[in-house]
Amino acid sequence: MTKPFSQACENNRAPISQVLERILVDCQSVFEIGSGTGQHAVWFSRAMPHLQWHTSDRIQNHQGIKQWISDSSLENIHQPLDLDVGVGPWPEGLFGAVFTANTAHIMALSEIELMFSGVSKILMSGGLFCLYGPMQYSGLIAAESNRAFDAKLRAVKSTQGIREFNDLNKLATAVGMELIEDNDLPANNQLIIWQKH
Ligand SMILES: C[S@@+](CC[C@H](N)C(=O)[O-])C[C@H]1O[C@@H](n2cnc3c(N)ncnc32)[C@H](O)[C@@H]1O
């Protein structure tokens, strides 16, 4: 199998890492949802050696994630859990943070709801949920490139699309999380941080 590669990951990892390195300075363990190729996990594990980084995704992506982990020779990154947020199984134990990138516009709304509920159960008190990706605010997708991306996503599958910030924030509030940061990152993406009470 050819090792998977995402140019977008290469482009966005440094600005994401800048925020994570600041907010996860006292954190010990991170669980990632939808690790994709595994590139983000490897980069963040290397940048933050104080963290234990736990990867996950649906089974079809595991081989690629395992290749990235193996090639990294890092000891603080963990093999992927087979997690579909709509199905489970969620990991055992509690984490200081959960990270997910570019997943909300791929998941159906019902899956996003289950993701917030699952995240709230695996976060320790005071833990952080860090969600990265393009976002819609009060019905408006500001960047033309994101409007085109949204149209493409919906044409491919009607359940996909760039999500409304207010909807995600309501889901977070409903499961006991409070918005603490919404970071504007390059290429019209957001890194939103909620904290579990
Ligand atoms: C666009 S990719 C992003 C991958 C990676 N996080 C990145 O930023 O490059 C979307 C990811 O979400 C995962 N995903 C989609 N639906 C999911 C679900 N219901 N449960 C868990 N992961 C899901 C996909 O398998 C895929 O890895």
Sequence ranges of the domains in the chain: 7-196
Ligand 1: residue of 20, 57, 61, 87 to mutate (most ligand atoms within 8 A of CB) is 57
Span 65-85, average pLDDT: 98
HSE of 149, CA atoms in CB hemisphere, 13 A: 18
Ligand 1 atom closest to Cα of residue 39: 9
Give the pLDDT score at 149.
98
CB 43 within 8 A of CB 36: no
- Quick count: other Cβ atoms within 10 Å of Cβ 143? 12
Give the pLDDT score at 195.
98
Q: Which residues pair with 181 in a beta bridge?
A: 193
Asked if the model's pLDDT at residue 65 lies above 90, the reply is yes
Question: Among the CATH numbers 3.40.50.150, 3.40.50.450, 3.90.79.10, 3.40.50.1370, which is that of 7-196?
Answer: 3.40.50.150
- The pTM assigned to this predicted structure is 0.98
- At 1, the pLDDT band (50, 70, 90 cuts) reads confident
* Structure confidence by residue, pLDDT tens digits, 99-130: 999 999 999 999 999 999 999 999 999 999 99
Whose CA is closest to 79, among 94, 97, 92, 67? 67
- Expressed in angstroms and rounded, the spacing between residue 130 Cα and the centre of ligand 1 is 15
- Show the ligand 1 pocket: residues with CB < 6 angstroms: 6, 9, 33-36, 40, 57-58, 61, 83-86, 101-103, 106-107, 111
CB 23 within 8 A of CB 96: no
